[in-house]
Amino acid sequence: MKAISAKKEKWFVEAAFPGIRRCKKDTFRVEKEIFSGRTKYQKIYIFESLGFGKMLALDGIIQFSQSDEFIYHEIIAHVPLMTHPDPQRLLVVGGGDGGVLREARKHPLKEMSLVDIDEEVVGIARQYLPFVSQGSFTDKRLTLAFQDGREFIKAHKNHFDIIVVDSTDPVGPGKALFQGDFYKSVHEALTEDGIAIFQLGPFLDFDIIIKGTVEKLSKLFTYLNPVRLPMPSYSCGCEYCFLMASKKVDPAKLALPVLKRRLQQRLGAKAADLKYYSPEMHLASLVTPKIWRLKKR
C-alpha cells in the first residue's frame, strides 16, 4: 500500500481564556507569516490565512480577518453615528488598526480622536495591513493619543457625541476597559445626548461578558441596546454582540425613513461603498433574541 505523503501545514490555534471567554479554540491554516513580535503590552501576529485572507491576532486572539472586518467596522461605527441626530465629535478607544476611523471619517464630523495604549499596533497595522485604515491616520480632523484609554478619558468631560470602544477582550491591557470606573468616565465624557458603543463578545458569552457589562452600564445610561452582527472569523463562528448605550436618544424609536434620509445627507455618494451597513441592516441589528432582552430600557 502506498503511503500518503502529508504536506507540511502550519496552523494558528487561537488562545482560550476559561472563565473569560468560552473555552473553544479556533484554528486557521497559515499560508504565510507576515509579522510576529511582542510590544510592551501584547504579542502581535499577522498572517495570511487560507480562506480568510490577512489576519491580526493580539495575545493569541483574532482581532479581524480581511474577509469579514468590514461587517464589524461598519456596524460599530455607523450604528451609533446614525443613531445620533447631529454627531460632531467622535472618540475611538482602542481601534489601533484604524478600521473604525476608516468608517467614521465618511461622516461630516468636526473632530475625531483615537486613543490606543499601544503605539506599535498602529505602526505595524499601517505597515502590514493598510487596507484596514486606508489613509485614515492622516485625516486632518484626527487627534491621536497613545495612552491607556481609561486615563485619557478622565481628562474629558461633556465633550464627545460618540465614543466607540474598540478594545481587546477583558484580559491584558483591555481589562481596564471593562471596569465600572471606565464606564463612568465614558458617561461623563459624553455630551448630554451622547452615545457609546462597546465591543463585547460572542452570543454564547452572554453570561460571562455581556451580563456584567449590562449591569454596570444600566446604572449610568437610559437606553441600552445589544447590537448583533455576524463575525465568521471570531470564535463564536457567527453571532457577535456590541452594546450601545445612549443617554437621551432611544435607538429603538428610530424609523427607517429617518435613517435613509440621514444616510443620504451625511454620506452622500459614499453610502454606495458600504458593503454591510444599510438602514435596514441597522434596524435588524437591534432585534434581539429573547435570551438577550435587557430588563432595563
Active site residues: 166
Least Å distance between CB 25 and ligand SAM? 16
Least Å distance between CB 5 and ligand SAM? 38
Q: Which is nearer to ligand SAM, 121 or 190 (CB)?
A: 121
Q: Which is nearer to ligand SAM, 82 or 122 (CB)?
A: 122
Least Å distance between CB 256 and ligand SAM? 28
Q: Which is nearer to ligand SAM, 13 or 252 (CB)?
A: 13
Least Å distance between CB 157 and ligand SAM? 19
- Calpha distance 71→230 (Å, rounded): 7
Q: Which residues does residue 146 pair with via DSSP β-bridges, in sequence order?
A: 116
Q: Which residues does residue 91 pair with via DSSP β-bridges, in sequence order?
A: 113, 163
Residue 15's alpha-carbon distances to 18, 61, 165, 235, in angstroms, are: 10, 6, 22, 10
Least Å distance between CB 223 and ligand SAM? 24
Q: Which is nearer to ligand SAM, 16 or 249 (CB)?
A: 16
Q: Which is nearer to ligand SAM, 146 or 271 (CB)?
A: 146
Least Å distance between CB 106 and ligand SAM? 19
Q: Which is nearer to ligand SAM, 189 or 259 (CB)?
A: 189
Which parts of this chain interact with ligand SAM (CB under 6 A)? 63-64, 72, 93-97, 115-118, 121, 148-150, 166-168, 173-174, 176-177, 199
